[in-house]
Structure 1
Amino acid sequence: MRVAIAQMNTHTGALSETCERMLAYACRAQEGDADLVIYPAPTLTGLMVLSDATIDDFLGDLFTALQALAEKLPIPALIPVVVQKDGELL
């Protein structure tokens, strides 16, 4: 199995732009005959703290973006997502 590791910097809240870049990395990995692409942990969520008042909206946007990205990826991908709500990791 050939594994590609995508090292990329992202901006918190820029889900659309980040997903486009992630798709480009996956396409490049596929062209290099990779079977799997792995992204860093905070790629989609960023290193941020959200209030409980805004977390639900963000989670909805996050999961919508993740679903759309998953449908477009040309190869399997590992996309870690770490989210905390009400003091609990989700």
Structure 2
Amino acid sequence: MPRTICCIFDAYFASFLTLLVLLPVSKAKINGVFSEYMAPVGNGFVEYAANFPKALEKLKEAGIDKYVAEYQKQFSEWHAQQ
């Protein structure tokens, strides 16, 4: 992406991105589960059929559904104000 476009993009979304820090769900926990379970599946290091369901279950236990719902809520509120 050209530098000018990046700057415009960064400025446009800066007000929204600052809200993400306030997410109540532990993003660190989700990232840890993603690294441990999803990355090996996505990179083909482990068999998809045998490991994806477990990886998805671990993400749900870590709070991915709440995280996505809160992200969508905050984005929708931010977008409505633009």
Quick check: TM above 0.5?
no
Structure with more of its chain in helix, by fraction: 2
Provide the TM-score with structure 2 as the length reference: 0.30
Whichever of the two has the greater Rg, that structure is 2
- TM (norm. structure 1) is 0.28
